[in-house]
Amino acid sequence: MGKSKWVSFFLCLFFGILGIHKFYEGRVLFGILYLCTGGLLGVGVVIDLIILLFKPNPYYP
């Protein structure tokens, strides 16, 4: 079963600095990096939010 982009988006919105959305997506190394650097000093979180917002949802035609 795939991961939902909306679950990842809201995890990033509320827990982005901790990298929880990266762990959810299965990207453990990036999750650890975000956890240690505070979401790449917050810049990575903002970029991820924008990317996730415009990412196509593969479950809708």
Q: Is 80 exceeded by the pLDDT of residue 9?
A: yes
Residue at 39 is within a domain: yes
Residue at 60 is within a domain: no
Residue at 11 is within a domain: yes
CA distance 5 to 3: 6
In DSSP notation, the chain reads -PPPHHHHHHHHHHHGGGTHHHHHTT-HHHHHHHHHHHHHHTHHHHHHHHHHHHS--TT--
Q: Is 80 exceeded by the pLDDT of residue 6?
A: yes
Mean pLDDT of 7-21: 93
In this structure, what are the phi and psi dihedrals at residue 43, rounded to the nearest 5 degrees? -70, -40
Residue at 61 is within a domain: no
Q: Report how many domains make up the chain.
A: 1
Residue at 20 is within a domain: yes
CA distance 59 to 61: 7
- Over residues 15-53, the pLDDT tens digits come to 999 999 999 999 999 999 999 999 899 899 999 999 999
